[in-house]
Amino acid sequence: MQTGTMTNIAIRPMIRSRPLVMTVWILAFAIATALSANLRIPLPFTPVPVTLQTFFVLMAGLVLGPGPAAVSMALYLVAGAFGLPVWAGAAGASGLGYLSGVTAGYLLAFPVAAYLAGMLSGHELNRKRAYVAIVAAGLLILAAGTSWMALLTGSGLWEASLLGFWPFLLGDVIKTIAAVEIGLRIGRRC
């Protein structure tokens, strides 16, 4: 028997293992969300930077489905809470204290938004449902972040929306289109 054949016989069952595949996808989206936090564009008029995090949160909902997507984003939050530098702040931003800062509302909405995107998109993905799901989940993230900012700063909701909602709509439209189109090509994996 050839060595390559033995390797194939040993590895093939692992590749088809549903729990293993699900775990890999969950970790992949948590890691992608963490890495995308480092691609940040600070805006001079708001404490909220532009990142690609929401792209991965939204696409996780489509690709993973509601439960695994929420687990992936919760894992991302736990990693940051335990000190891994996974958040879009100053170099090395991490720890529980970061979850009481001005952008915490966005972060804490990630698992709920990923779940919502997965639930609303349905098990059999189609373009119309995917867009509805992603728009709803994206608006949830923006609303949660803006509401938290208003609460934390003592400003009114309108003032907070000028800093944390309206400046991000155009970028979110682009991320929505990308998340849906790429998510539909990947398809449901979990």
pLDDT tens-digit map of 109-143:
999 999 999 999 999 999 999 999 999 999 999 99
Quote the CA–CA distance of 120 and 129 in Å, as a whole number.
Answer: 7
C-alpha distances out from residue 140 to 13, 85, 109, 115, 187, Å:
40, 25, 7, 11, 23
Determine if the pTM surpasses 0.85: yes
Ramachandran region, residue 187 (left: φ > 0; alpha: ψ -120 to 50; beta: rest): left
Give pLDDT, residue 6.
53
* Domain coordinates in residue numbering, the chain: 3-186
For the domain made up of 3-186, the CATH class stated in words is mainly alpha
For 7-43, the pLDDT digits (tens) are 555 555 555 688 999 999 999 999 999 999 988 899 9
Q: What are phi and psi of 47, to 5 degrees?
A: -80, -5
